[in-house]
Each structure stands twice: as structure tokens, then as C-alpha cells.
């Protein structure tokens, strides 16, 4: 359990108790024996642009089944949607795959299981990333752009192990998630602490809601998935401060095992 090893500040503890913060961590330093820790793991929160990873999955699902043809325009929109979080590109991609219902059918497909309508929910895209258009709130919590850290971590774990659609599709989606164009939240401290690590990342921000998700692939112990969501005006700084706390735990654990 993450709360048995992490030292949380009083502000973080209060946010967790108020269901305004969630954190998920997957330690991949030994890929054959991953370890998972979470706080409020099944809490679905408003995640802004983070659920654009679900639109990415829906597009690749349709590529795989011949329902969507890959074009230079689509490739450019997928890159813009993920790397710089373009709302217009995300909206075009939602429309291309057949709308909100089509995206969420993929999330609920038993092959992926990224949204559970009979449980705690998960990843959900219930509105185009535009001012106009219909709203399709998720059936469990009524959130338009929702995520749980459990399912976001699972998304990255399936990608990292080549099990999301296929090995080739997983590799291509990882490439699109690499080289983030926005350098805030998790990326800011990671760029300083681990300049040689490869980052696969998608974040989200709207008003007081802040979310980030990253697969970090570096040397030795620095191989992990981190997902966090915070509802706070200080969310940006909280997410930045989370990275060194998490890395301290991972490094200490790695040293203990080496001993």
C-alpha cells in the first residue's frame, strides 16, 4: 500500500480524505514482477484532457479492424492531440471514429476493460473537446471527461507490455505518447532529474482540476508508471512535488533489495 511508505504533507492528506486527490504507481524496475500501489485508486475524477488517451485507443482499434483508414491528416491530428493536447484535433478524431458512443464502446470492450459501468467506472470521454456538441456523461458518476488512476495505470501497463490491441499497435501508441510538447507538471521535475529517461505522457488541466500520467523508462530503478489527479488551485505544484517523493520511495526500495 502506498500510504505505508509515502510521507504525505497535511495538505495532501486532506485532499485524499476529501476525495480530491488520487495517485497510482506501478514499479517496473523488474518487468517480470511489477508492483502496484494506489491511493483512491478507484475514485473517478474529472481529468480534463487525460482521457484523450482513450480517443487514441479508439483510433488504433479501428485501424486494426479496418474501420478507419490511416492518412497523413489523421496521423498529424493524433500527434497534436497527444503531444500538445490540441482540443480541435481531439474533436476531429472523436468525429472520425464515429462519435462519443464509439469511443466509449471501445473502452468497455472486454478486451480492454478500461471502463466498468457496473463498478467504479474508469476512463470515459463524454463530450467533444469543443464548446458545442452533445454531452454523454459516464453512467456511474456523471462525469464528462473522467478517469481513475487504476485504469490509467492499466492503460500504460498494457502499452508497456505490448498487450493493448497488439505489440505493433502498442509500440506505435507509445511513440505518439513520447516527447511531450508540454513541459509542465510531471515533465518539469523529470526533465531535471532524469534527462536521459524516455517519457510517454498525457496530462490534463481545466480550472482547478489537474491530472498527469507518465510512463518513465530510464536506467536501473527509474522505470515506472505514475498517474495522479488533484482538484486544487495548487494542483500544478502538487503534481510537480509528487515526483521527487515517488522517486525517493522507488530508489530507497531498490537500494534495500540490492542489499
- What pLDDT digit, counting tens, does each position of 64-121 carry? 999 999 999 999 999 999 999 999 999 999 999 999 999 999 999 999 999 999 999 9
pLDDT tens, residue by residue, 201-235: 999 999 999 999 999 999 989 999 999 999 999 99
Listing DSSP states for 177-212 in one string gives HBS-S---TTHHHHHHH-TTSEEEEEEEEETTEEEE
75 CB-near residues (< 8 Å, 6+ apart): none
**Distance, CA of 218 to CA of 209 (rounded, Å):** 29
Where b means 16+ CB within 10 Å and e means fewer, 108-133 reads eeeebebbbeeeebbbbbbbbbeeee
pTM over 0.85: yes
**Distance, CA of 209 to CA of 2 (rounded, Å):** 22
**Distance, CA of 181 to CA of 183 (rounded, Å):** 6
Amino acid at each position: 500500500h502506498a500510504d505505508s511508505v509515502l510521507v504525505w504533507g497535511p495538505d495532501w492528506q486532506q485532499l485524499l480524505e476529501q476525495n480530491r486527490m488520487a495517485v497510482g504507481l506501478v514499479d517496473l524496475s523488474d518487468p517480470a514482477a511489477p508492483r502496484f500501489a494506489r491511493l483512491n485508486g478507484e475514485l473517478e475524477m474529472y481529468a480534463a484532457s487525460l482521457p484523450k488517451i482513450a480517443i487514441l485507443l479508439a483510433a488504433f482499434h479501428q485501424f486494426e479492424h479496418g474501420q478507419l483508414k490511416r492518412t497523413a491528416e489523421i496521423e498529424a491530428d493524433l500527434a497534436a492531440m497527444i503531444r500538445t493536447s490540441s482540443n480541435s484535433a481531439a474533436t476531429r478524431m472523436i468525429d472520425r471514429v464515429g462519435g462519443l458512443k464509439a469511443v466509449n464502446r471501445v473502452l468497455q470492450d472486454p478486451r480492454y476493460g478500461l471502463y466498468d459501468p457496473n463498478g467504479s467506472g474508469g476512463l470515459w470521454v463524454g463530450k467533444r473537446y469543443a464548446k458545442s456538441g452533445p454531452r454523454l456523461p459516464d453512467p456511474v458518476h456523471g462525469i464528462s471527461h473522467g478517469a481513475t488512476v487504476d485504469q490509467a495505470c492499466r492503460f500504460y501497463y498494457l502499452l508497456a507490455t505490448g498487450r493493448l490491441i497488439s505489440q505493433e499497435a502498442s509500440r506505435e501508441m507509445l511513440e505518439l505518447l513520447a516527447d511531450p510538447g508540454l513541459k509542465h507538471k510531471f515533465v518539469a521535475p523529470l526533465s531535471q532529474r532524469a534527462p536521459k529517461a524516455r517519457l510517454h505522457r498525457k496530462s490534463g488541466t481545466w480550472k482547478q482540476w489537474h491530472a498527469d500520467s507518465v510512463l518513465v523508462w530510464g536506467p536501473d530503478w527509474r522505470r515506472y508508471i505514475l498517474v495522479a489527479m488533484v482538484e486544487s488551485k495548487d494542483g500544478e505544484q502538487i503534481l510537480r512535488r509528487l515526483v521527487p517523493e515517488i522517486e525517493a520511495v522507488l530508489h530507497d526500495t531498490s537500494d534495500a533489495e540490492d542489499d
